[in-house]
Amino acid sequence: MFDSVAFIGLGAMGYRMAAHLPAHIANVMVWNRTFEKAQQHAIEYGTQAVSLQDAVQADVIISCLPTSEDVQKLLDQIQPKAGSIWIDCTSGEPDQAKPIAARLAAHQVQYLDAPVSGQTIGAQNATLTFMVGGDHTTFLQAQPLLQHMGQLIQYVGESGAGFAVKAINNMLLAVNLCAVAEGFTTLKAHGVSLPDALKCINASSGKSMVTETVLPQRILNREFPLTFALPLLAKDTGIAMKLVHQAKLAAPVLAQTQMMIQAAHLTAQPDSDFSAAVKMYEQWSKITLE
Amino acid sequence: MFDSVAFIGLGAMGYRMAAHLPAHIANVMVWNRTFEKAQQHAIEYGTQAVSLQDAVQADVIISCLPTSEDVQKLLDQIQPKAGSIWIDCTSGEPDQAKPIAARLAAHQVQYLDAPVSGQTIGAQNATLTFMVGGDHTTFLQAQPLLQHMGQLIQYVGESGAGFAVKAINNMLLAVNLCAVAEGFTTLKAHGVSLPDALKCINASSGKSMVTETVLPQRILNREFPLTFALPLLAKDTGIAMKLVHQAKLAAPVLAQTQMMIQAAHLTAQPDSDFSAAVKMYEQWSKITLE
Amino acid sequence: MFDSVAFIGLGAMGYRMAAHLPAHIANVMVWNRTFEKAQQHAIEYGTQAVSLQDAVQADVIISCLPTSEDVQKLLDQIQPKAGSIWIDCTSGEPDQAKPIAARLAAHQVQYLDAPVSGQTIGAQNATLTFMVGGDHTTFLQAQPLLQHMGQLIQYVGESGAGFAVKAINNMLLAVNLCAVAEGFTTLKAHGVSLPDALKCINASSGKSMVTETVLPQRILNREFPLTFALPLLAKDTGIAMKLVHQAKLAAPVLAQTQMMIQAAHLTAQPDSDFSAAVKMYEQWSKITLE
Amino acid sequence: MFDSVAFIGLGAMGYRMAAHLPAHIANVMVWNRTFEKAQQHAIEYGTQAVSLQDAVQADVIISCLPTSEDVQKLLDQIQPKAGSIWIDCTSGEPDQAKPIAARLAAHQVQYLDAPVSGQTIGAQNATLTFMVGGDHTTFLQAQPLLQHMGQLIQYVGESGAGFAVKAINNMLLAVNLCAVAEGFTTLKAHGVSLPDALKCINASSGKSMVTETVLPQRILNREFPLTFALPLLAKDTGIAMKLVHQAKLAAPVLAQTQMMIQAAHLTAQPDSDFSAAVKMYEQWSKITLE
């Protein structure tokens, strides 16, 4: 096991993920751009709030930032320790994984792309799914550490593969979000009770994570709690489409979904939860999904 | 309870559904256009193969035909018994439910649209979902009978509401089928192992009935067992779009999906299972989902 | 030639079309639901404002109403003269043409579906295009009369064919409207001068009626003059999609366009010109097409 | 005027474009990867077939290659002359224009992106449209030279703007190609004569370059002459979508079109003309556009 782990990026996910580490690791350092958050984490969970330069001297660095561009900017400022492992939980760009890995390899640092799924509740309960790309031996070294924060720690292929699986997963979430909004609006327009329809669909072949949790827990109750921001879902669908374009494939339903999520994001309130994408459809139809 | 029930239409679903009735009902009659099937059912399950004219003298008639048009044609030929209940398990057209109900009401027959979900395995195990539209009192009378063939027997609204929920359910199935085909083709093009990706997605927010059962049990194993024919899914997505158009809504992801399923159907082998819709994408990409 | 012609429906198109007839026909009757319009037309152009019952005693009746449903309602109220010809310039429903023709045939009246293209300016200058479906001999009789109001009087096939061509024409207009809105928004986002880009495209393979007239004369100048209402274009794209669905075809770009025009219509101001559909894209992008 | 001009890339377009220069320029050099083509051009038009190193010593270099990547590879091999102008008629990538301009600026060479529209017939008759991006003073210097090969020589903005306008133009061509294929298939399915429908639409608001020239001259006559290859149109629609994604816009009809062109390209014969994209729709519908 590792003596020291540094966690970089204490957002809604990272803050909760890092909280599990002190129970297993002697020296858990945390760093965040808004440094008060790191200090608060230290008080709350017994981690150490340190400078960025100190953080990158850890045996393992875990980063959890909004975009791959943010990771690249971070790398401009630091000198990581040779022999360490960098685990990047950002929902990043697959075609950035190899360039980032190469930059770190120049410092003798191994890089894993290891984005997560499971939202803040999964981060809190250590039930996240980690989709990991990179060197397989490094993965085996990192796996026990990730197990402290997640349930399924899955190796999916070479550098960038983790980011790719995450992007497609979130695209499938987006597809269901749009399709459910469109389908349930149609049912309500025809006088069908949405809770009754939902019971049927959740016992049938049309069910998905969106019908099982997003629709009842976020939309029908009109709560739209901000745990995964709509602009981030828009970003992820964009990453998925980039994968489609790079492979020169035809993916019409994904392309269509990306456009709808993009339109929903462009017309949404700032700080909207991803589930609020349905509000675009509600504005179109004057039908409220409740 | 009812003394006599007639089951009309012994296709892949009806044959299995009717098999559960003799355990609970004294007189179970069956009729099928290809009459040998009815005779075989009688031998196998102790039902009675009868003429269509006799069948419609039952207390309850259950029909399970390919389309609402087939139901209309059947009604041209018969004189149902006053006071009976007609339960139509066809995946029918919502805007045909009221005209059919009116035709039957002229004979003092109550009509319920009660399409099912759960496929042949659900028909066999009596775990189907019934989505029922029509008069609520009639629903309450029919419910115990339907319970012999299903798990969830759900009332969803007035005449046509059952067909509407079924159409939207199957549209959501179609959306996931297309999106999963597109997404997994993209992942394979980028070198990701599909079984590993599937494990991640089934533990994440992108999961759906398609990722949980259709992809592993029909597609990745290259079996495509014919239990629900692609032309029927194409028909159902067409019904869903008709609901959208009638309500003058904008449903771009559903519209797109309908077109892809239609194109897949137009280019598929006859007697293709709905899961074989992915083969259109495979022909486009030269990538096999396995 | 005909002694008497009645023009029914003096909207933006009909008012201007009927104005050309008195120069060629002895007895030109006009009728309009808001009867003042008919009286004004009589004063302005020397036609006769008559009752609906009198109008349908003419040798030829020309109708120009918003929808086929309006034509059907009109037929409920009248008793047309045997031996007359009914020319329906409504942008109607192809599958309504044969039922309407049958209703009129019961009165020994021949029916032609003869929708027009060319907008109010074409109506005013008698340069409209007439797309005519129905009996060919009747077409040959009607052609000289239509020539007073149009330039190209084209027979396109049996009853309903005229409506079908009109619906597809307007769908192609809608496709270009959406695509031009999307494309020019993109160019402006990248800093390109729209008038300069327009010059290039109008000299190139991307040109269409939308780039040649709609964009410069209605959109870039921000005038959006109401000559063809957005709800009517939405209706016409719906008719086109019905043709697609009836023929069980896959037409993804048309389906997509219909959804965008529908969404634009649902969010537009009342009394919007069709060209104002671009405002939906402008709201999305915060980029004004000027 | 310039004493020497070198033309690099004698494909279907370049070969015809370069043929106009000897009438106006003393020293016209040509170079092509398959050098026999350059030698043949010299014999046919009095140009000089030279080595690549000699070509780039000209006062003006005109390149006309398949992709921006080809231009970048060419730049790897050469040392252009300080003070010269490089006019790039490739249908290139907007986001490659500035990097290429920067590489050439390091040699004191001015770069204009100047893609053309008008197809081989326009190249032959010197009626091309040039859409030019880059430094405006350089444009004014280059304009008289381009005028020998084209009709409209239009400045559209800074470096990359020419490529952007070309990509959007070709996207609009693609939109019309798909929409016309879908629309005319629908008309034929309903029994309408396509030549008659085409006459109406070309006199109406649905007309476009595709209805005016592509459909009658390439498709309905079943000739599909190879003058602009389908993979190049697929590439151009991909460039247009990249512009959409970079600007974070929602352009659903363009996205849909790109996917259809991509699918048509993936399933087409090699060496298909762009107009052969309609064959995908013909395979779907079993309806031939003739």
pLDDT in tens, B91-139: 999 999 999 999 999 999 999 999 999 989 999 999 999 999 999 999 9
- According to the model, what pLDDT value does residue A194 have? 97
Q: Which residue has the higher pLDDT, C1 or A266?
A: A266
Nearest chain C residue to A283 by CA distance is C267
| Partner residue opposite C168 with nearest CB, options D168, D183, D249 | D183
Cross-chain Cβ contact C250/B238 below 8 Å: no
Residue A189, C-beta contacts closer than 8 angstroms, at least 6 positions apart? A285, A287, B243, B247, B249
| Partner residue opposite A249 with nearest CB, options B185, B251, B257 | B185
Cross-chain Cβ contact B168/A158 below 8 Å: no
How does C106-127 read in b/e, with b if 16+ C-beta sit within 10 Å? ebebbbbbbbbbbbbebbbebe
- According to the model, what pLDDT value does residue A196 have? 97
Nearest chain D residue to B283 by CA distance is D267
Flag whether residue A257 sits within 8 Å of chain D, measured between CB atoms: no
What the block records as the tokens of A281 is 């459809």
Q: How far apart are CA C289 and CA D248, in angstroms?
A: 17
Question: What are the tens digits of pLDDT across the range C104-130?
Answer: 999 999 999 999 999 899 999 999 999
Flag whether residue B262 sits within 8 Å of chain C, measured between CB atoms: yes
Flag whether residue B251 sits within 8 Å of chain C, measured between CB atoms: yes
| Partner residue opposite C244 with nearest CB, options D186, D196, D206 | D186
- Report, in angstroms and rounded to the nearest whole number, the Rg of chain D calculated over CA atoms: 20
- Single-letter amino acid code for the residue at A254: L
- Single-letter amino acid code for the residue at C248: K
The interface predicted TM-score (ipTM) is 0.95
Question: What are the tens digits of pLDDT across the range A56-88?
Answer: 999 999 999 999 999 999 999 999 999 999 999
Residue D231 · residue D277 · CB < 8 Å: no
Q: How far apart are CA C124 and CA B126, in angstroms?
A: 69
- According to the model, what pLDDT value does residue A134 have? 97
Q: Dihedral through CA B115, CA B121, CA B122, CA B124, nearest 10?
A: 100
CA-based nearest residue to B205, from C86, C250, A171: A171
- Strand runs labelled E in B126-255: 128-133, 150-157
| Partner residue opposite D238 with nearest CB, options A238, A245, A252 | A245
What the block records as the tokens of B101 is 């109900």
Q: Which residues of C touch D285 (CB under 8 A)?
A: 247, 249-250
Q: State the pairing for strand pair A128-133/A116-117.
A: antiparallel
How does A224-250 read in b/e, with b if 16+ C-beta sit within 10 Å? beeebbbbebbbbbbbbbbbbbebebb
Nearest-Cα distance to chain D for B246, in Å, is: 21
Q: Dihedral through CA C119, CA C120, CA C123, CA C129, nearest 10?
A: 0
CB pairs under 8 A between A and D: 46
CA-based nearest residue to B255, from B162, B174, B160: B174
What the block records as the tokens of B283 is 């022909």
The half-sphere exposure of D123 on its side-chain side, counting CA atoms within 13 A, is: 19
Nearest chain B residue to C261 by CA distance is B250
Q: Which residues of C touch B259 (CB under 8 A)?
A: 250-252, 255
What the block records as the tokens of B32 is 């099928």
Q: Which chains neighbour D (Cβ–Cβ under 8 Å, 3 or more pairs)?
A: A, B, C
Residue of D128, D202, D204 for testing the chain C interface, max C β-carbons within 10 Å? D204
Residue C176 · residue C210 · CB < 8 Å: yes
How does C163-188 read in b/e, with b if 16+ C-beta sit within 10 Å? bbbbbbbbbbbbbbbbbbbbbbbbbb
CA-based nearest residue to C90, from C80, C108, C75, C102: C75
By CB atoms closer than 10 A (0-12, 13-18, 19+), residue D253 is buried
What the block records as the tokens of D39 is 């030698």
Flag whether residue A263 sits within 8 Å of chain C, measured between CB atoms: yes
Residue length of chain B: 290
Residue B109 · residue B160 · CB < 8 Å: no
Q: Which chains neighbour C (Cβ–Cβ under 8 Å, 3 or more pairs)?
A: A, B, D
Sign of the Cα torsion B112, B117, B120, B124 reads negative
Residue A154 · residue B200 · CB < 8 Å: yes
- Report, in angstroms and rounded to the nearest whole number, the Rg of chain A calculated over CA atoms: 20
Report, as an integer, the average pLDDT of C17-41. 97
| Partner residue opposite A283 with nearest CB, options C267, C285, C286 | C267
Nearest-Cα distance to chain C for D149, in Å, is: 14
For the stretch A266-270, contacts whose Cβ atoms lie closer than 8 Å and that sit 24 or more positions apart, written own/partner, are: A266/C284, A266/C285, A266/C286, A266/D248, A266/D249, A266/D250, A267/C283, A267/C284, A268/A230
3-class state of residue C228 by DSSP:
coil
**C147 φψ region: left (φ > 0), alpha (ψ -120 to 50), beta (else):** alpha
Whether residue D261 is predicted with pLDDT greater than 80 in this model: the reply is yes
3-class state of residue D203 by DSSP:
coil
Whether residue C1 is predicted with pLDDT greater than 90 in this model: the reply is no
Whether residue C217 is predicted with pLDDT greater than 90 in this model: the reply is yes
Report, as an integer, the average pLDDT of C68-81. 94
Q: How far apart are CA C268 and CA C256, in angstroms?
A: 18
Q: How confident is the model at residue D1 (pLDDT cuts 50, 70, 90)?
A: confident
Flag whether residue C255 sits within 8 Å of chain B, measured between CB atoms: yes
- Single-letter amino acid code for the residue at A231: P
Nearest-Cα distance to chain B for D263, in Å, is: 6
Residue B289 · residue B219 · CB < 8 Å: yes
Nearest-Cα distance to chain D for A289, in Å, is: 24
Nearest chain A residue to B95 by CA distance is A190
Residue C131 · residue D175 · CB < 8 Å: no
Flag whether residue D252 sits within 8 Å of chain B, measured between CB atoms: yes
Cross-chain Cβ contact D252/A256 below 8 Å: yes
What the block records as the tokens of A106 is 């120049």
Flag whether residue A253 sits within 8 Å of chain D, measured between CB atoms: no
End-to-end, the C-alpha distance of chain B in Å comes to: 50
Nearest-Cα distance to chain A for C183, in Å, is: 14
Q: How far apart are CA B198 and CA B215, in angstroms?
A: 9
Report, as an integer, the average pLDDT of A172-200. 98
Q: How confident is the model at residue D182 (pLDDT cuts 50, 70, 90)?
A: very high
| Partner residue opposite B200 with nearest CB, options A152, A173, A252 | A152
Cross-chain Cβ contact A255/D250 below 8 Å: no
CA-based nearest residue to B16, from B170, B149, B153: B149
3-class state of residue B91 by DSSP:
coil
Sign of the Cα torsion A149, A154, A158, A161 reads negative
Nearest chain C residue to B247 by CA distance is C262
What the block records as the tokens of A127 is 């039930």
SS3 breakdown of chain C: % helix, strand, coil, rounded to 5? 55, 15, 30
Instruction: Write phi, then psi, for C160 (nearest 5 degrees).
Output: 105, -20
CA dist list (Å): A49 to A22, A38, A40, A59: 13, 5, 8, 16
Residues of chain B where predicted confidence (pLDDT) is lower than 70:
none
CA dist list (Å): A57 to A4, A126, D101: 9, 25, 42
- According to the model, what pLDDT value does residue A1 have? 72
Flag whether residue B267 sits within 8 Å of chain D, measured between CB atoms: yes
